Amino acid sequence: MPTRQNVIRKALLVFCCFVLGAVTLAEGKVIDSPGGLDLKDVVKAINFGITTDQVIGGVTFRAAGANSTVDGVKNTALGAVNVGAGRQTLPNIGSSDDDNALEQILGTSILGSNQTKNNIEMNISVPNGYYKAQLIIYDGWKAVTGGTRNVNHYAEGTKCAVNRDDYVEQGNTPNAGSVSSYVFEVIDGEINLKLEGLVPNAHLSGVVINKLSSLNAVDLKPGDSFVQYDIGESKRNALMESLAPEIREQYLTLEDHLIKRSMFDKVAKQTLRQDALILKTDRDPVDVVLRRTAALLTDIQKMNDATDMSGFAAELKQLQEEAAKQNDLQTPERIEIYAETCKLRRRIAFSNPLVRGIKDIAFIKRHGALLTHMVDQFYGIAAMPGGGLYVLEDAFSDDQKVRDVLANAVVEKGSLKGQKLSGGRSKRWNMRFHDGWQTSQVPTLFGEETEGGAFLSPELSFDGKQILFAYTECKGSRIHHAHMDHSKGHWDEGRVYNIFKINVDGSGLEQITD
């Protein structure tokens, strides 16, 4: 039998999620009975975390504990959670025997091992062929404690679900569970599944393995999203490292969007430019970037004062033809096409007549806020020190230069008169913010002592001679005073954003608000 190391899988992966319970969700199929489980041609059915088998629709779910092997299904879990343990609750599905069995399956689970970063891994022995794996998941923890469980899913070495909030997936109710289904081809006699706990620990209530005759429409349900994989983790990593960091990040983002393409279907009617969506014809990031680059080229060709774009059109056509020849979506050549298309896209965008007269661009550098709500970037208490105010000179040429606007500037007016504004050392500090809303704890900033401040929201004057921006010193008390009398303030004055202005040449730095 070939080993995992020397087998290169060439298969299609199908991702779909649906929900168990009597709730209405934006995602997937809503059901209130065990009928949501696909119990056709089942070859493995496991009920984790309990000592007794359960039967649904004539299919026996074998009981399996943590770190065990039952019916050829081996798991690496740390422990098991039963009803009442760790505040685990039992969902209310219905009153039939099948309903009661599903309740028992959902209400017990195995949890990830601390030794494997809170993960659960499964190796399942099967003959080669086409299969569907259904991961049955239930989060009875958040309803009681407010805590979350966020996980990534992997099937056959490929990431299929990203930052999945188990409680959200089951409709934010303790009386439902969720099922994630993955379809793939096995060519080495083993199915490999993993739940990666991002917010510990990963939990799993059950797994169902179905044998499929093919990967065509007879076996696959409408709405399934296809993701091509897998050239092996080490080879893929090497290819991705060859991309520029920004281009690599865009590639990974598009992969995530392809997995979650159903979310684009929901906003399609509200989207002005359909090119911004993920379409059914998009198989991988290369398809997406080629399609969107073609749309960009067409738009600029229609503009007044547009330059001759025939050279760009010829380059794009050649890349499209090369991509169309490739059936294997995970080759070095295809990654190269992606990189070359991104370079071409940049040149096309810079040919836009609207930017032809622009020489320089003002911008800031900053870390993301320590909290994640859309308004938290404006909270000085949540700011991560670092960054600055800069101008990219000759921005659209091949001889760009970055100039630090504040390099020699000293505040001339305001409470910070005589001081320089700086982001401090170029590093990401070890800090976290406990918001305290779910507990009685005072909202507080924790972590190492820092230096430097943080920057936000640059605005250019109409004549292009001055820049307005916000700056906080990131100094003082780390306590966030939570109350509704905003006149009293919520945090130390050293952690408040104030507005400053400066001339583009770096002179005349003044504090506007105090």
**Is residue 397 predicted with pLDDT exceeding 80?**
yes
End-to-end CA distance of the chain: 72
- Worst-scoring range by mean pLDDT, 8-22, 60-74, 96-110? 8-22
Beta carbons within 10 angstroms of residue 480's beta carbon: 21
CA pair distance 70, 77, nearest whole angstrom: 13
Per-residue pLDDT at 241: 78
Higher pLDDT, 34 or 4: 34
> Under a CB-based contact definition with an 8 Å cutoff, are residues 33 and 98 in contact?
yes
CA pair distance 283, 336, nearest whole angstrom: 16
**Is residue 332 predicted with pLDDT exceeding 50?**
yes
Distance of CA 331 to the CA centre of its chain: 24
201-238 per-position pLDDT tens digit: 788 999 999 998 766 544 555 434 344 444 455 556 66
> Under a CB-based contact definition with an 8 Å cutoff, are residues 132 and 209 in contact?
yes
Tell how many helices (H) and how many strands (E) occur in the chain: 9, 27
**Is residue 513 predicted with pLDDT exceeding 70?**
yes
Per-residue pLDDT at 216: 55
119-161 per-position pLDDT tens digit: 899 999 999 888 889 999 888 765 555 556 788 888 887 787 8
Beta carbons within 10 angstroms of residue 471's beta carbon: 28
Q: Which residues pair with 64 in a beta bridge?
A: 48
Instruction: For Cα atoms 292, 297, 300, give the angle at the middle one, nearest 5 degrees.
Output: 125
- CA atoms within a 13 Å half-sphere pointing along the CA-CB vector of 253: 7
The answer for 232, left when phi > 0, alpha when psi is -120 to 50, beta otherwise, is left
In the 8-state DSSP scheme, what is residue 242? T
Per-residue pLDDT at 15: 34
Query: Residue 474 corresponds to which amino acid?
Result: C
Instruction: For Cα atoms 483, 486, 489, give the angle at the middle one, nearest 5 degrees.
Output: 85
**Is residue 421 predicted with pLDDT exceeding 90?**
yes
Beta carbons within 10 angstroms of residue 16's beta carbon: 22
CA pair distance 78, 113, nearest whole angstrom: 4
Phi first, then psi: give them for residue 505, nearest 5 degrees.
-80, 0
Q: Which residues of 260-284 are buried (b: 16+ CB within 10 A; e: fewer)?
A: bbbebeeeeeeeeeebebbeeebeb
Q: Which of 446, 443, 474, 444 is CA-nearest to residue 367?
A: 474
- Worst-scoring range by mean pLDDT, 84-93, 378-387, 463-472? 84-93
Q: What is the mean pLDDT of residues 388-394?
A: 96
CA pair distance 300, 454, nearest whole angstrom: 37
> Under a CB-based contact definition with an 8 Å cutoff, are residues 490 and 381 in contact?
yes
CA pair distance 5, 129, nearest whole angstrom: 19
Give all domains of the chain, ordered by start, each with its CATH number. Answer: 11-230 (2.60.120.430), 236-354 (no CATH), 361-511 (no CATH)
Higher pLDDT, 272 or 162: 272
Residue 135, both tokens:
């991961």
Residue 427 makes CB contacts below 8 A (sequence gap 6+) with: 386
Residue 157, both tokens:
């070495």
CA pair distance 483, 124, nearest whole angstrom: 53
Q: Is 246 exposed, middle or buried (0-12, 13-18, 19+ CB in 10 A)?
A: exposed
Q: What is the DSSP string of 307-320?
A: ---HHHHHHHHHHH
- The order of strands in the sheet holding 388-393 is 361-365, 388-393, 401-404
Per-residue pLDDT at 317: 97
Residue 391 makes CB contacts below 8 A (sequence gap 6+) with: 360, 361, 362, 363, 402, 403, 405, 504
Q: Which residues of 390-399 are buried (b: 16+ CB within 10 A; e: fewer)?
A: bbeeebbeee
Confidence of residue 13 (pLDDT cuts 50, 70, 90): very low
CA pair distance 39, 37, nearest whole angstrom: 6
Residue 333, both tokens:
């050549």
167-214 per-position pLDDT tens digit: 888 778 787 788 888 888 787 789 999 998 877 678 899 999 999 876
